[in-house]
Amino acid sequence: MKYSIAIYGGPYSHQATHSAWHFTRAVLKRGHTIERVFFYHDGVYNASALTAPPQDEQNLPLKWQQLAEDNDFELTVCIAAAVRRGILDENEAQRYSKPAANLEQGYQLSGLGQLVDAGLTSDRLISFGP
């Protein structure tokens, strides 16, 4: 079965990211595939390269990056929600005359159409968050 995941909560302000990561790992262990993980609302904070949790806490954005790399699925971030919250790739940083980009490697900015596409092309679209 092919799954896509939507995450609406931030990595350290809501349980959504942690729960979604565990769910995704369980789905993969059962032999299913992940098409895409879509980060929306405060979930876009998972894509920040500037996240620096204390050493005794999990680095959830990095864990997502590794899981996606190991299992070949997309980490897609809503561009409108990301820019509004200061998460920028090189193109958006230049477009808005900002001094730097901070989108973590392995994540890509895209529109809400990617969330709609995930719902249409996957067998299941599972949402996590408020």
Query: Residue with structure tokens 């929600």?
Result: 81
> Which parts of 1-130 fold into alpha helices (H)?
16-29, 60-71, 79-84, 90-95, 113-121
In contact, 103 and 75? CB cutoff 8 Å: no
Domain range for 114: 2-128
- The yes-or-no answer on residue 78 being catalytic is yes
Tally of domains in the chain: 1
Tell me the average pLDDT across 12-33.
Answer: 94
- pTM for this predicted structure: 0.94
Minimal CA–CA distance to 114: which of 60, 88, 80, 77? Answer: 77
Give the CATH number for residue 96: 3.40.1260.10
pLDDT digits (tens, 9 = 90+) for 110-127: 999 999 999 999 999 999
Catalytic option among 60, 78, 118, 125: 78
pLDDT digits (tens, 9 = 90+) for 35-46: 999 999 999 999
Give the pLDDT of residue 8.
96
